[in-house]
Structure 1
Amino acid sequence: MKRKWLLLCFLLFLFAGCSLKDLDKRFFVVSMGIDALEEGTKKYRVSLKLAIPSPKIVPGKENFQIITEDANSIAEAVRNAKSKVDKELDFAHAKVFVLDEDIPKADMLDIIDWFTRRRDIQEISWLTIGRPSAYDVLKVKPKSERLPSNALFLTFGREGTESPYIITTYLFDFYRRLHEKGLDPYMPVTEARKGYFLIDKVALFDKKGIKLVLNRHDTRILNELMTSFEKFSIKVKDGGLLYYINIENLKITYDLQDRKNGSGLDIMITANLTGIVEEAQKNISPDAIPHLEKLAAKEMDGRLSKVLKQLQQQELDPIGFGERYLASHYNKDEDWKKWKELYPKAVFRIQTQVKLESSGTIK
């Protein structure tokens, strides 16, 4: 019996050493920004956006604090930032990480590696490029925002707005694309404006850093190619008249075909779209529907071809054609070398079919 009491006292002694901190002794980091600094100074400026709890949740009245620290590594900056606050920094609620587009290519790999190694950072966090800087993006305070950084959470999570110009990327997916052959990473570009964010471009990466930033129109088309995003419109010209077709359903499939003589590769792309006429400059008769469908299919072919050739010229592959090629071949190293020779010369063969379900409702 005496031994049992001694064992129980020993266990209680161990439990008494628990280092867990209560919620009121923690600062929750909701978003984080990393900017590159000029040569001759520290490498990074790390900004932490800390949420300050409030008894009332009122749009435009959220409270937050931004702590900045210059250092030569992210880990060093975070440790130094702790000396500026009175509570423990907690990254469990950090869901958006904003990076400066001027961060050197080699440093980008180190930063992503730090994100993935920390056990308290969620792998489903979102990554974005910040303009003019990551710090400027963190400072934006939208009038409709009820909680710190919630505007970005709603945007990237598509729980609020659903825009064809917004392409999102998760931390786990970006890390995978950095290391996976035949699949290149990308990030949306978030521009800080007075009281709101503008997110309508995407930055494309090779395995080292940013190589190309698409404009808003090409970003929308890439979103259609990668995710079959459905809520977009096609502008169709017929003589001097303009029609706008709202696409309600989109399905895109790919197929890679080696030519029989071994001289090259054809990338077959099939796009099936259904929609309605959303805007027209004249009344549309039922007999005119097939003609509009052909014009819309031709317009879609041109849009897809333009972006695909732009990616091909830069030797970028965010869609994953190379990954699909390797999956259908069985000699990994030789096939990868062969793919790098084939992709710059591959021919895109696009087939689009558009079906208009209605010419719109006229009351």
Structure 2
Amino acid sequence: MRPLLLPLVPGRRSAPLARMLLVLAALAGALQAGGCAYKDIDKRSFVVAMGVDRSDDPARPLRVTLKIAIPTADIKSGENRFLLLSADGRLIAEAVHRLQGMNENAFDFSHTKLIFIGRDLAEARPLRETLDWFIRMETIQGIALVALAEPSAEAALRVSPPMERLPSNSLFTALDGSGTLSPYITHAYLFDVVRRLYEPGLDPILPLVEAAGKKAFRIERSGLFDKSRLRLVLSPEETEWLNFLRGETANVDFVFGRDRLYFQADPNRARTRLAVESRGRTLRLVVDVELYGSIDERQKETAALPAITRAIEADVKTRTESLLRRLQEAGVDPLGLGLRAAARGLAAGDPEAVIRSLDFTVRTHIVVYETGNVLR
């Protein structure tokens, strides 16, 4: 027998059931209305990288460039397709809104992995103001890479190496360390840059990407900031040594012109230790450097291993003290020495002022050995 279906008649028993059905109908309508805002994948343009430069228009001082990946069915080496869109604005948000009128699809920033800041803009505008829009955008990931660009962010975004399969993939793998392990490349993520901007006694450091035409790039220098602007650009040798002191690399080398010696440190046996100590009324930074390495190549047989070891020890002390003096003069603290002092209760007042008042002591432990079956 078929069950008997009774109509809902307003009454004492059917009233709760009727109210429940009305609530369910309202929820279903709300969910259906909210789903109308969803964009299909073919209606979205994926922004893989962004750049911010100074513009030539005083009324709109910022120039924003978006690098949009163009999907292809067959990915081939050297045939990556992308679109660059640029617009000027008083704010980054205004420029992005202007760019929306140049593209038929909605911008999707969930795949934005790289943020370029032009060197000219970094010297003229506070870094906090430049990164404010990126911090507030919930669709931009905190692990996005941040870098300086020269001559401009737009020029760096145009770089497309011949072997590249995906837009800006070569820059991604170089800057995040998943590809090359160059000691000259500094790794800077958005979340860490923001932390350094707001943490007393710790300042931001960004890699500097130089565009060499449209087919190549060079990354071997870095830019140091205080809590506001770009204050110092390091040479390749200084960048390498700063990365070593920060613990980002162990691949350091030494070249001595007099004896034409080349020293390569073993990456598994190279380390550094930084300690801020109180000596009366002054603070002293003690740097311990330990290196074990081999002589990969040399052109003369005159120098013995003890003499080579002494030369390397002197070079380590010179490099370290010279770099620390430059940081003091510029008033930047990428090593977090002020934060270290504050953690031990040694920073009397402002941790930002610790870097300017430090004395230095460099202690070394160097071991050099020959390689292979070469007899000396």
Same structural fold, with TM-score higher than 0.5 when normalized by the shorter chain: yes
Once residues 38 and 209 of structure 1 are traced to their aligned partners in structure 2, the CA distance between those partners, rounded to angstroms, is: 20
Read off the aligned partner of 2:370 and give its amino acid letter: S
Instruction: Name 2:142's counterpart in structure 1.
Output: 123
Q: Report if the CA contact (8 A) 1:228-1:250 is conserved.
A: no
Match of 1:247 among 225, 240, 265: 265
Matches within 5 A, 1:213-224: 213-224=233-244
Shift of residue 7, structure 1, vs aligned partner? 3.5
- 1:71 and 1:307 map into 2 onto residues whose CA distance is 39
| Aligned partner of 2:279 among 253, 256, 259 | 259
2:307 maps to which of 267, 291, 297: 291
What are the equivalent positions in structure 2 for 1:7-156 lying under 5 Å apart? Answer: 7-17=23-33, 18=35, 19-38=37-56, 40-103=58-121, 105-156=124-175
User: Residues 317-336 of structure 1: matches in 2 within 5 Å?
Assistant: 317-329=333-345, 334-336=348-350
- Gaps in structure 1 of 5+ consecutive residues: none
Equivalent residue, structure 2, for 1:206: 226
C-alpha deviation, 1:9, in angstroms = 2.8
Q: Is the 8 A contact 2:66 2:86 kept in 1?
A: yes
Q: 1:189 to 1:8 in 2, by over 3 A?
A: same
CA shift at 1:312, angstroms? Answer: 1.1
CA distance in 1, matches of 2:78, 2:302: 46
Q: Give the distance between the partners of 2:228 and 2:136, measured in 1 at CA.
A: 19
Shift of 1:289: 3.0
2:263 partner letter:
I
Q: CA deviation at 1:214?
A: 0.9
Which residue of the partner structure matches residue 179 of structure 2? Answer: 160
Pick one of 362, 365, 369 that aligns with 1:350. Answer: 362
Structure number with larger C-alpha Rg? 2
186, 189, 192: which one aligns with 1:170: 189
Deviation at 1:282, TM superposition (A): 4.1
SS of residue in 2 equivalent to 1:296: helix
Structure 1 residues 273, 46: closer, same or farther in 2, change over 3 A? same
Taking the TM superposition and a 5 Å limit, the aligned residue runs for 1:295-314 are 295-314=311-330
1:292 shift after superposition: 2.4
* Contact kept in structure 2, 1:31 and 1:149, CA below 8 Å: yes
SS in 1 for 2:67: strand
Q: CA RMSD in A?
A: 2.0
Is the contact between residue 298 and residue 352 of structure 1 (CA under 8 Å) also seen in structure 2? Answer: no
Q: Given the alignment of the two structures, is residue 229 of structure 1 paired with residue 249 of structure 2, yes or no?
A: yes
Q: Distance in 2 between matches of 1:117 and 1:265?
A: 39
Give distance in 2, aligned partners of 1:118 and 1:177: 19
Q: Which amino acid aligns with 2:254?
A: I
Q: In structure 2, what is the equivalent of residue 279 of structure 1?
A: 297
Query: Alignment partner of 2:120: what SS?
Result: coil
Indicate conservation of the 8 Å contact 2:177/2:187, yes or no: no
Name the CA distance, whole Å, in 2 between partners of 1:105 and 1:329: 35
Residue type of the alignment partner of 1:157: D
Identity %: 32
C-alpha contact 1:236 1:299 (8 A) present in aligned 2: no
How far apart, in 2, do the equivalents of 1:47 and 1:296 lie?
A: 46
Is the Cα–Cα contact under 8 Å of residues 241 and 252 in structure 2 kept in the other structure? Answer: no
Cα deviation for residue 245 of structure 1 reads: 1.3
Q: 1:343 to 1:128 in 2, by over 3 A?
A: closer
1:188 aligned partner: 207
Report whether the alignment pairs 1:359 with 2:373: no
TM-score by length of 2: 0.88
State the 1:42 CA deviation. 1.0
Normalized against structure 1, the TM-score is what? 0.91
Q: 1:108 offset after TM fit, Å?
A: 3.0
Gaps of 5+ in 2: 1-16
SS of equivalent to 1:38: strand
Find the aligned partners of 1:108 and 1:329 in 2 and give their Cα distance: 29
Residue 50 of structure 1 and its aligned partner are, at CA, apart by 0.2
Structure 2 counterpart of 1:251, one-letter code: R
Counterpart secondary structure, 1:37: strand
Structure 1 residues 155-198: Cα deviation after superposition (integer angstroms, max 9, x where no partner): 01111111111112111111111111111112111111121111
- Distance (whole Å) between structure 1 residues aligned to residue 176 and residue 206 of structure 2: 14
- Which residue identity lines up with residue 336 of structure 1 in the other structure? D
CA deviation vs aligned residue, 1:266-309 (integer Å, no higher than 9, x gap): 11000111111111224599xx4343223222211111111111
Give the CA deviation at 1:100.
1.2
